């Protein structure tokens, strides 16, 4: 093995962690892959023998690349609803192969991504690197160009936003989550209001994302959400895992219409995320129909 092949092999050992960092920073599998590829290009053009701590060097470079990408996004926003829309990570529901298992483990809920997208780039970086990956504030400070005390404050502000959003933790039992969602659809299909209320948490949240053209809508409470739950006419449901949650691609008259993701805790649905943005819905449909494991940009 020559020197270049050896360096490539060492980089591949770090790729999964780098991609996990980049995905949580950017909320997009495709953008995360781009960031990691840029890190490889930087490494291949560097004098790797002079890098004492390769893991630390790679983490710093990918974090700086993600910070640059996040800041570029914010500069491109021209109206209040032109926020970055996180890509959907969609996997056909069923027997998962090793790649799909890895992608499921690496996914981040839509609810958390919504909150992370509301943070400043520096807050998001500090929170992701410290709270999710355990980097010390001394290292984070050098990446964001602040003091360690300021970096700690960034993470603290972000943490308050995340905790204040009260993002529900899903039940770890995937089979139980499937049963609860099936009960929801059975009740919705027959229009059984009482059965719908029974399967919904009293404080359930229904959030519908229409894309950048209009703000999302939010409905709270089991009775209000149950009134919204009606099986679509001419609808076809295709089971999927959406950002780690039990979900469904809904088509109307053969055309992709929406994607739903259910957060289940115990025997109740505590959150429903609906995506009606046409571009992301069509990419999700393409991923499911083609048997791929995620949507692109």
Q: Where residue 214 sits, what CATH number does that domain have?
A: 3.10.450.50
Same domain, 264 and 194: yes
Question: What is the structure's pLDDT at 106?
Answer: 62
**For range 132-150, the mean pLDDT:** 95
Tell whether 207 is covered by a domain. yes
Last residue of a domain, one of 164, 188, 207: 164
pLDDT band at 81 (very low <50, low <70, confident <90, very high): very low
Give the range of the structural domain holding residue 22, as residue numbers without chain letter: 3-87+110-164
Least confident of 51-55, 126-130, 146-150: 51-55
Same domain, 129 and 257: no
- Residue 54 is encoded by which pair of tokens? 């390769």
| pLDDT for residue 113 is more than 50 | yes
Question: What is the structure's pLDDT at 30?
Answer: 85
CB 204 within 8 A of CB 270: yes
Name beta bridge partners: 242: 90, 245
Write the pLDDT tens digit of every residue in 256-265: 999 999 999 9
| pLDDT for residue 78 is more than 50 | no
Same domain, 11 and 155: yes
Give the rounded percent of residues in the chain with a pLDDT score beyond 90: 53
Name beta bridge partners: 273: 207, 261
Same domain, 199 and 221: yes
Same domain, 136 and 253: no
Same domain, 120 and 44: yes
Last residue of a domain, one of 122, 137, 164: 164
Tell whether 296 is covered by a domain. no
Same domain, 40 and 152: yes
CB 142 within 8 A of CB 67: no
Same domain, 193 and 241: yes
Secondary structure E strands in 9-167? 90-92
Give the rounded percent of residues in the chain with a pLDDT score beyond 70: 87
Same domain, 75 and 149: yes
In angstroms, the CA 231 to CA 79 distance is: 34
Tell whether 17 is covered by a domain. yes
| pLDDT for residue 157 is more than 50 | yes
**For range 145-152, the mean pLDDT:** 96
In angstroms, the CA 111 to CA 26 distance is: 14
Task: Kindly list the strands in the beta sheet with 90-92, ordered across the sheet, starting from the edge strand earlier in the chain.
Answer: 90-92, 235-242, 245-252, 255-265, 268-275, 200-209, 217-220
Same domain, 152 and 180: no
| pLDDT for residue 295 is more than 60 | no
Tell whether 23 is covered by a domain. yes
Q: How many domains does the chain have?
A: 2
Same domain, 222 and 260: yes
Question: What is the structure's pLDDT at 244?
Answer: 85
């Amino acid at each position: 093995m020559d020197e270049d092949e050896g360096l490539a092999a060492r980089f591949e050992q770090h790729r999964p962690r780098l991609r996990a960092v980049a995905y949580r920073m950017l909320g997009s599998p495709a953008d995360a892959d781009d960031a990691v590829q840029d890190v490889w290009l930087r490494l291949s053009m560097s004098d790797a023998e002079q890098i004492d701590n390769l893991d630390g060097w790679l983490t710093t470079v990918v974090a700086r690349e993600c910070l640059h990408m996040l800041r570029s996004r914010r500069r491109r926003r021209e109206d209040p609803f032109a926020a970055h829309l996180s890509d959907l990570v969609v996997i056909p529901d069923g027997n998962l192969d090793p790649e799909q298992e890895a992608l499921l483990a690496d996914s981040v809920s839509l609810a958390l991504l919504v909150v992370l997208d509301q943070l400043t780039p520096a807050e998001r970086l500090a929170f992701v690197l410290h709270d999710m990956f355990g980097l010390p504030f001394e290292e984070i400070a050098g990446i964001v160009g602040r003091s360690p005390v300021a970096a700690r404050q960034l993470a603290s502000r972000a943490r308050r936003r995340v905790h204040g959003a009260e993002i529900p933790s899903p039940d770890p039992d995937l089979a139980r989550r499937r049963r609860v969602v099936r009960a929801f659809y059975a009740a919705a299909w027959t229009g059984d209001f009482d059965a719908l209320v029974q399967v919904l948490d009293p404080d359930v949240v229904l959030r519908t994302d229409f894309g950048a053209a209009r703000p999302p809508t939010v409905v709270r409470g089991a009775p209000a959400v149950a009134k919204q739950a009606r099986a679509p006419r001419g609808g076809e449901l295709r089971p999927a895992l959406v950002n780690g949650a039990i979900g469904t691609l809904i088509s109307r008259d053969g055309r992709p219409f929406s994607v739903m993701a259910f957060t289940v805790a115990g025997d109740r649905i505590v959150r429903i995320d609906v995506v009606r943005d046409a571009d992301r819905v069509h990419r999700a449909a393409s991923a499911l129909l083609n048997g791929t494991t995620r949507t692109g940009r």
